Amino acid sequence: MFWHADNSTYGWLLQGFASSSNIAGPYTFIDATSPLGNWSQDFGMFTDFKDGKSYSLWSNGDRKEGRDVYLTSYNDDITALDKVVHRFDKYDLEAPTIVQTEKSYFALMSHKTGYRPNSKSFPHMFIILDNEANRKQMLLPSVPILFLGPGASRSLLAR
């Protein structure tokens, strides 16, 4: 089990990890760490149903040095993060999640407004595709696009 681990002042900004042989528990606490040495808030996970690879999505906080959203991959045992796949630099968004279809990946995020509703602001959407050939089939020049997965030779964030 993974979760956002923090204290009452929201100052730790960690990712927690516990394990159990049964989904109903009991769970054994393993660790709470700074992912790849960074802060973490609005932590989420995604497992690609095509290849079984798991990823973490998280914002690195509200501090001036932060305001990025990370997409990081897990090791094969899904016990630790192994690398940053992409960083959405200074987007200042939160609550990242990925929705996968047979043809595409959609990363959805919302503006940071704390606990205030942001009903007048639409979530940002990034379309994540396996390769550049898939992009040519879609005419979405204003949507940032990130290439990853099998056959991806590079990452391209187009605006």
Split into its structural domains, the chain has a count of 1
Q: How many residues does the chain have?
A: 159
Examine residue 157 and state whether it is found in any structural domain, yes or no.
Answer: no
CATH code, 100: 2.115.10.20
Say if CB 134 and CB 146 are below 8 A apart: no
Say if CB 60 and CB 66 are below 8 A apart: yes
pLDDT digits (tens, 9 = 90+) for 105-158: 777 777 777 666 655 444 455 555 555 544 433 333 344 545 444 444 443 333
pLDDT digits (tens, 9 = 90+) for 91-112: 777 778 888 888 777 777 777 7
Examine residue 152 and state whether it is found in any structural domain, yes or no.
Answer: no
Examine residue 155 and state whether it is found in any structural domain, yes or no.
Answer: no
Q: Is the pTM of this model over 0.85?
A: no
Query: 59: domain range?
Result: 2-147
Q: What's the Cα-to-Cα distance from 93 to each of 8, 32, 48, 153, 155, rounded to whole Å?
A: 22, 23, 22, 27, 20
